Amino acid sequence: MKLGLEGKVALVTGGSRGIGAAISLELARQGADVALTYRGQAEKAGQVATEIEAMGRRALALRADVSSFSETQATVDAVRAQLGGLHILVCNAGITWDGVVWKMTEEQWDSVIDTNLKGYFNYNRAVAPVFKDQRGGKIVNLSSINGIRGKFAQSNYSASKAGNIGLTKALARELGKFGVNVNCVAPGLVMTEMARKIPPAFLDVAIKETVLGRAAEPEEVAHVVAFLCSDYSRHITGEVIKVDGGQHI
């Protein structure tokens, strides 16, 4: 199914690997030019950009700390200047730093919240006036089923992902009258490089939680994100769509 993203410019945070890379590539397949941010994966970001350009699309890989308000604005300005506009934002960059709450340090809490929640605010905030003035745009924020249900030893991560959902719903109300759609995708277990490092016993438990009996591939999340970035989803906003194989039923 072609989603008709030709002529659109997309910005994907954390687009150098895993779900972010899959999203960047899928948006390009659907016709968009894609800018992607990375923090410490310059080589992988370059590889993704090369793949995008091989599809005949323009690509831009930018090193950026999503937790920096000033860097965020500079990144958005650079994308608009170099690619000629901005129509789609996908916030995906995120980290984990697990620990039970009675042992969690302030650094563990602040680091995850600054990246996973403040980082989303920074980018949503930076594109909001652009989309508002052009009376159109698509924002997709990546949350997690653990932001809905909570997870043991992930109070920081679960809080940040729950915050993404609240942010999405509030901005859907604020930006709706300007023709801007703001939605959230909440994956369950996805077989990224990080997931493949999970001890087999823990991985097996997570897979058994799903009703489909398997983990998702990054591309399966990317397909849903791309749909939400298209005009096929123009009457969907403020929603949280789980992509979890029934892990959270």
Tell me the per-residue pLDDT of 109-147, one tens digit each, with 9 for 90 and over.
Answer: 999 999 999 999 999 999 999 999 999 999 999 999 999
Q: What is the predicted pLDDT for the residue at 193?
A: 83
Look at residue 1 and tell me if it is in a domain. Answer: no
Per-residue pLDDT, 94: 95
C-alpha 168, offset from chain centre: 12
Q: Catalogue the active-site residues.
A: 157
Asked whether residue 157 is assigned to any structural domain, the reply reads yes
Long-range contact set of residues 75-83: C-beta below 8 Å, sequence gap at least 24: 75/11, 75/37, 75/126, 76/11, 76/123, 76/126, 76/127, 76/130, 78/35, 79/9, 79/11, 79/35, 80/9, 80/130, 82/35, 83/9, 83/33, 83/35, 83/58
pLDDT value at residue 6:
98
In a domain, 74, yes or no: yes
Give whole-number Cα distances, 227 to 26, 39, 44, 205, in Å.
Answer: 10, 27, 25, 30
Give the amino acid at 119.
Answer: G
How long, in residues, is the chain?
Answer: 249
Whether 211 is in a domain gets the answer no
Residues in the chain where the model's pLDDT stays below 70: none
For residue 174, being part of any structural domain is answered with: yes
| Residue 17 forms part of a structural domain | yes
Residues of the domain holding 135:
9-190+217-243
Q: Is residue 102 one of the residues assigned to a domain?
A: yes
Q: What is the pLDDT of residue 1?
A: 78
* 222 within domain boundaries: yes
What CATH number should be reported for the domain holding residue 14? 3.40.50.720
Q: Would the CA dihedral through 51, 77, 91, 225 be positive or negative?
A: negative
Q: Can you give the pLDDT at residue 198? A: 81
Q: What's the pLDDT score for residue 195?
A: 80
The total of structural domains in the chain comes to 1
